Amino acid sequence: DLDGTRADRAVAVLCGVSRRIARSTIEAGGVMRDGRALAGSERVAEGEVLDVDLVAKEEPTVPDASVSFGVAFEDDDVIVVDKPAGVVVHPGAGRAYGTLANGLLAQYPEIAVLGPEHRWGLVHRIDRDTSGLLIVARNERAFDQLQAALKEREIKRVYLALVAGRLGSAT
């Protein structure tokens, strides 16, 4: 599945770390192919052997019950989360706490092991300042099926923007 993939993505998937950690490892010379340090933008091919020495570990995402979000639907396989504007979806640069992922882990600890790159069952994301519904898988089968459906564009996303005042000319 990783044939032709960028090295940073391949390292992230194979080692179960974020792209940030994968890139840091590659930039530090921690990924070798045929005795040569690999660049993050290089592509990997099926059958190649990569020697990876991770330079850093991920900080664990801490459950945080204080993160506010709604639940529009829930069953044994999925949760449809109503994310309010102003809430970041995933921990990232400078934001380790107070994210939707932290809140979800507090309420649904079973999602901690779902998906690559610490996705915690989140099938997709929306920007911090955007409110809306997000699909979260509760098990590996649902995660894989939802990811495939999103990739094949079987899941549709609809956006609505509200504007107050007059819009000026685009010219």
Active-site residue numbers?
127
List of E strands, 55-153: 70-74, 78-83, 132-137
